Structure 1
Amino acid sequence: MVENYTPSPPQVWLLCGHKAGDNAQLLALARALGWPYEIKRLTYRPYELLVGRFGATLAGIDRRRSDALTPPWPDLVLTAGRRNEAAALWIRKQAGRPVRIVHVGRPWAPLERFDLIVTTPQYRLPPRDNVLVNTLPLHDLDQAALQQEAERWRPRLRVPGPFVTVLLGGDSGPYLFDAAAARQLARQVSQLAAAQGASLLVTSSARTSAEAVSAFEAAVTVPMQLHRYGQGDNPYRAFLGLAEAVVVTGDSISMITEACASGRPVFLFPFGHGRWAMRPDTPILPQLPWWHRRRLKAWRSDLALRLAPQRLRRDIRPMHRALIDGGHAAWLGETLRHPSPPLPDELARTAARVKALLA
């Protein structure tokens, strides 16, 4: 007599780093798979960029400040971000057996080193059997969770409704979200809220500089409740659930996607200037002096984008155009038809591709 045999589910590791948007995509995919998973949080050494290009190595990882990477080894590694690539390859090498690696975003290592790459058009990856191009970043936002968070936070609100939620991003590549950009955003969202008789619910993010938050706060002219990222319970999803409309800075495609998934009208705030301005007709000149480290970093990004091979360039503007042309969002100051068409549900398709790797 042959007994029924049920194989144990694959063991999954998530390599989480310093970017909240990357980590959110990994968590969404792990939950969609429905398999047990462990989160491995990694901290990097200052010289990681120099040693992380050598393939399977932990030389760029600060192992004392990171979660332990020890046996039993996983069957599947989910990773995102350039800094985690070498660690994912190192895990496969240590295991001495097939360990599937799924990379979300755009890898810097040769594409053939990964079993599956889940990417979006901004990264311009060439068509390959192991490359899955989605329209937007992965997310698992749902209305029930938003409303639950909204009700949990409602007693803590200090301003009257209705509400316009504002999601603040920060510097990204050649884009500088400095005091000048923050003040311009504050003026525009104040006008929007005043026209609707609304208050502002505002939350910053890990990339928002203290300078930008202070400039934004000083320039707002309507009632506002402001949450600074990292200070206590994060109301991000609650503020989405409470919103009548959402304004989000154009630097973060992940935040934009989640704002659109909330079902609220979404307005994008463009900033930047020169060849990489999000909207060339409305440039915002940075206030920072040319020798400031953030300004120099933006120039380095500009140079890298011009000189790097196409596969290593990142241009977020096609994503903006796709969302606006699809009726999912509008530029701040313009009109948006509502309700917006639903976003494509690409999470299930992505999970199915990953499961096929371990069939």
Structure 2
Amino acid sequence: MWLAPHPSPLPAGGERESKRLPAGTALRILADGRAGHEAQTLGLAEALGLPPDIRRVSPRHPYDWLAPFGPPDPRDAGAFAPPYPDIVLAAGRRTIPALKRLKRQSGGRTFAVYVNKPATGLGTADLIVAPRHDGLSGANVVSSLTPPNRVTPERLAAARAAPDPRIAALPRPRVAMLLGDASGIVYDLDYIASVLILAGASVMATPSRRTSAKIRATIRAALDQPGGWFWDGEGENPYFSMLANADRIIVTGDSVNMVGEAVATGAPVHVVEPYATRHKLSVYLKNLEEAGAVRIWTGRFDDWAYAPVNSTPIVARRIERAFGAFQTSLRAERRDPKT
């Protein structure tokens, strides 16, 4: 039964229903070049229904060493240059100096949102979106079960209706294997891929930027047979199509983002844990286990159903409400500058 195709679930009350912001609201994203950070801020921008103005920072030495506590690199001045946006989203410690400079230079008129737990404390931004497993609390903190992402019911439905031809060619049941920094568990992954193919499943794997050349080569070799496919970086990125058309997902437990994206599909998600797991990551996986979304791989494959888990729409609504209160405060200040 564990190889039975998993039916595509209906979205469980998580459709992205924002677009409640005033017309013409300007949004800027401060990006540091890391795909995981950018996926979180872009996911929020899409959930807010706002086209983002993306400004990337790439601080030189010693500015990158001093981040997040030092000043921004003057070369990144475009990140905090006028015209100032109504809302700015930032993720990653190297964006914090530019975020704080933008807030100050806008005269406090820009609503600043920082995604992830900042080392600079609660005063880093007007609103902080920190995952629950980080244990951060405060009046301006939104604690989400999973990080924001770009996986939506609409995007999954479109990918199911018109799958990537390379994925459509794979017989069902299909298993997606999402690889992060799988150091130390590569042979587990090699074994899992071989067992699944022998059992009649198709296995499609995609690496991340953090996947080493050794792991890529090992998994590619394991999948170099009928029923296996490894995306080697050629052609269009099939990531969303993989997520949408997988009957089961195997994901390395080192990546908070990839696990969060996997559970947004509603497909059974087996997590292969690194041999040494950080405490915060263990708490995150335990929370998702308790939500019924993941199971830690212990040598067998279970089959179960759950409502897709995605915190992005919830976080977006919190941003909308907080921004509305912020705007109300600004209008009151303009009417009575002494308050």
TM-score normalized by the length of structure 2: 0.80
Equivalent position SS for 1:87: helix
Q: Which amino acid aligns with 2:321?
A: A
Question: In the aligned structure 2, how far is the partner of 1:142 from the partner of 1:349?
Answer: 13
Contact 2:80 2:98 in 1 (8 A): no
- By how many angstroms is 1:325 displaced? 2.5
Q: In angstroms, what is the RMSD of aligned CA positions?
A: 2.6
Q: What does 1:75-114 correspond to in 2, within 5 Å?
A: 75-114=86-125
- Partner residue, 2:290: 325
- Structure 2 counterpart of 1:72, from 83, 89, 93: 83
- By how many angstroms is 1:154 displaced? 4.0
Q: What does 1:29-40 correspond to in 2, within 5 Å?
A: 29-40=44-55
- Partner residue, 2:336: none
Contact 1:186 1:217 in 2 (8 A): no
- Partner residue, 2:188: 184
- By how many angstroms is 1:335 displaced? 4.3
Question: In the aligned structure 1, how far is the partner of 2:203 from the partner of 2:303?
Answer: 22
- Structure 2 counterpart of 1:351, from 310, 316, 328: 316
Q: Which amino acid aligns with 1:72?
A: P
- Partner residue, 1:165: 176
Aligned CA distance change for structure 1 residues 151 and 351 (closer, same or farther; 3 Å): closer
- Partner residue, 1:201: 204
Aligned CA distance change for structure 1 residues 250 and 154 (closer, same or farther; 3 Å): same
Residue 19, structure 1, aligned to residue 34, structure 2: yes
Contact 1:200 1:224 in 2 (8 A): yes
Contact 1:190 1:221 in 2 (8 A): no
Aligned CA distance change for structure 1 residues 356 and 151 (closer, same or farther; 3 Å): closer
Q: What does 1:234-245 correspond to in 2, within 5 Å?
A: 234-245=237-248
- By how many angstroms is 1:168 displaced? 0.6
- Partner residue, 2:60: 45
Contact 1:58 1:87 in 2 (8 A): yes
- By how many angstroms is 1:21 displaced? 2.1
Contact 2:68 2:93 in 1 (8 A): no
Unaligned runs of 5+ residues in structure 2 are 1-20, 325-339
Q: Greater relative contact order: 1 or 2 (C-alpha under 8 angstroms, separation 6 or more)?
A: 2
Residue 135, structure 1, aligned to residue 145, structure 2: yes
Aligned CA distance change for structure 1 residues 349 and 152 (closer, same or farther; 3 Å): closer
Aligned CA distance change for structure 1 residues 142 and 85 (closer, same or farther; 3 Å): same
Aligned CA distance change for structure 1 residues 356 and 153 (closer, same or farther; 3 Å): closer
Percent identity of the aligned residues? 31
Unaligned runs of 5+ residues in structure 1 are 1-5, 171-176, 279-313
Contact 1:150 1:239 in 2 (8 A): no
Equivalent position SS for 1:119: strand
Contact 2:164 2:238 in 1 (8 A): no
Question: In the aligned structure 2, how far is the partner of 1:7 from the partner of 1:77?
Answer: 15
Question: In the aligned structure 1, how far is the partner of 2:75 from the partner of 2:304?
Answer: 48
Deviations 1:255-293 (A, max 9, x none): 1111111121111011133xxx37xxxxxxxxxxxxxxx
- By how many angstroms is 1:115 displaced? 0.6
Question: In the aligned structure 2, how far is the partner of 1:265 from the partner of 1:326?
Answer: 12
Contact 2:59 2:75 in 1 (8 A): yes
Question: In the aligned structure 2, how far is the partner of 1:323 from the partner of 1:261?
Answer: 11
Aligned CA distance change for structure 1 residues 154 and 349 (closer, same or farther; 3 Å): closer
Aligned CA distance change for structure 1 residues 204 and 198 (closer, same or farther; 3 Å): same
How many residues in Structure 1 have an aligned counterpart in Structure 2? Answer: 301
Deviations 1:172-210 (A, max 9, x none): xxxxx23x5222211123213422x11111111111111
Question: In the aligned structure 2, how far is the partner of 1:132 from the partner of 1:68?
Answer: 25
Q: Which amino acid aligns with 2:270?
A: F
Residue 250, structure 1, aligned to residue 253, structure 2: yes
Q: What does 1:271-290 correspond to in 2, within 5 Å?
A: 271-273=274-276, 277=277
